[in-house]
Amino acid sequence: MQTINQNRWNDSDFKTVLSIFEEISSIPRCSKNEEQIAAWLEKFGKERGFETKRDHCNNILIQVPASPGMENLPAVILQAHTDMVCEKETGSPHSFVTDGISLRYFEENNISYLTADQTTLGADNGIGMAYMLAIAASADISHPPLELLFTTDEEIGLTGAQGMDPDFISGNYLINLDSEEEGVVIVGCAGGTQIGFKRLIDVENACAGDNLEETDCDATLMPYNIVVSGLLGGHSGTDIHIGRGNANLILIQFFKRLAERYTQNTIKLIKIKGGTAANTIPRRAELSFVTDIPAENLKTEAADYAALISSVPSFNDPNMAVEVAVADFSNVQKSNLKSFSAKNTERILNFLIAIPNGVFEMSASIPDLVLTSGNLAIIKTRSNEEYFKGAEKETESSDLDIYTEKSKRELEIIYSLRSGNDLRLKEKIKEMMALSEKYHYNFEITHTYSPWEPDFNSVFLKNCAEIYQKTFGKEIQIQAIHAGLECGVFHRTFSGIKMVSIGPDITGAHTPDETLNLDAAEKVWIYLKEILKSFPNAEG
């Protein structure tokens, strides 16, 4: 791991923040895999003599006594989440189950940055955790009584916050440290839900023609792969409006275009796989199919379609590629290669193309804020055998199990909805339910969470803004965001709680390009300390 010049930092305490972040980064902590980080946090608190507790969701609360003279002030909750989005570059050998994150420091234009080697960095929300622990570890930072709240599973559906008992915390003021832009204080966020569409669909011999008799695949129906790659991806909330391509959508649209242009040819889907996380714009998607369309035509169509997509002025993914190549199923007997029928392929395409994606509505009251959006996050096929085994994940071998003797294959779609308005969110959920009924798919709602509708007149907000002005000599921006924060859950559960959210500049969140601006991170650290030091003047 590359070291950094520790003399660079104006605030000497910030070195402690970085040291703690490095230690956090050594602990695997993907969503649903947070036992290790929870145990580490629990040990951190207890070893320092702080009252520390863990609940059934692995949420951790560390209670830090007030600095001398501040004992009678109300408690302040500092809050961050322990999990991270685990994305890596194609071909990376990194294991998120066993390996820590490999960090890399660098400077550009005299600004210090931190990123990771071929994986997400986990600054979302590891840097927030590091701020909290650095305050707890210091005897020199003035603060009122603190409740350090570390919540689990935020990235999947804020389930740690939603599963927390109402008496787990007691403070009436909360500073969330999960925002991603320095100089901005967040006072509102989107709510959201994750939707699952599933259906078991008949498969047949891939080489069968319209009369269901075997034909010679080598002579008529050839297997091909289509791969959409090179996309930047991004956060499905904050990046949904900036022109990032959705690999699943591009793949489906191209496949649909082939079907419409070659109506006299046979096209039969074998399998499809795209996207890795519900809260990430998918960067890569691929499918296999058999067809009698000539290979030269397929490659020309792919090149033409890639050029067409790239020519759209709002498209912001310069390295996108759409490629077609002959699939290698040489180890499979032709009679065992299974696909959906041509009719079922058409029905699958019609359903996938009907699922809306992207920005649906902008806020009428807040400039440039997305109000409602949808993200076609994950598409995958799974064999009948896997389905009935209840497999949670596809392994490399099961992913290739497309020549099973079983007669059905499951198609699963994971879709995320967001809205800053609770009524609009419920309306869109009903629309998705109606869509599933129309196409006869099973419909499941998971991980629903409420929006945090902004209160721009909060006295707590006003006083935090004044502290920023006094500290840095300029005004802080007050915004709402189109991403889910746990503040939405807290706002619903604790109606009287006063909240703000702050954080440093993080770019490329939820992708292997995730980068933390360390100069901005230092400013947020200084600002947080000033809020706590000045808390008698920050109450509202």
d(CA 183, CA 502) in angstroms, rounded, equals 8
Backbone angles phi, psi at 195, to 5 degrees: -115, 140
Q: In Å, how far from its chain's centre is CA 337?
A: 35
Of 83, 155, 301, 514, the active-site residue reads 83
Task: List helix spans (H) across 390-446.
Answer: 396-399, 422-439
d(CA 329, CA 432) in angstroms, rounded, equals 37
- The conformation of residue 334, written as its DSSP 8-state character, comes to G
Q: Assess contact for 86 and 100: CB atoms under 8 A.
A: no
Nearest to 127 by CA among 466, 504, 410: 504
Tokens 């001398």: give the residue: 68
Is residue 154 flagged as an active site residue? yes
Which H or E run includes 204? strand 204-205
Strand partners, 201: 409
120 Cβ contact partners less than 8 Å away, ≥ 6 residues apart:
84, 85, 86, 87, 88, 101, 509, 510, 511, 512, 514
Amino acid in position 134? A
CA atoms 240, 241, 242, 243: torsion sign: positive
Angle, to 10 degrees, between the axis of helix 14-25 and the axis of helix 518-533?
A: 120
Nearest to 248 by CA among 377, 358, 345: 377
Measured CA distances, 296 to 194, 218, 224, 287 (Å): 40, 16, 12, 18
d(CA 39, CA 195) in angstroms, rounded, equals 32
Is residue 455 flagged as an active site residue? no
Tokens 């869509």: give the residue: 435
Of 147, 153, 154, 514, the active-site residue reads 154
Just list the catalytic residues. 83, 154
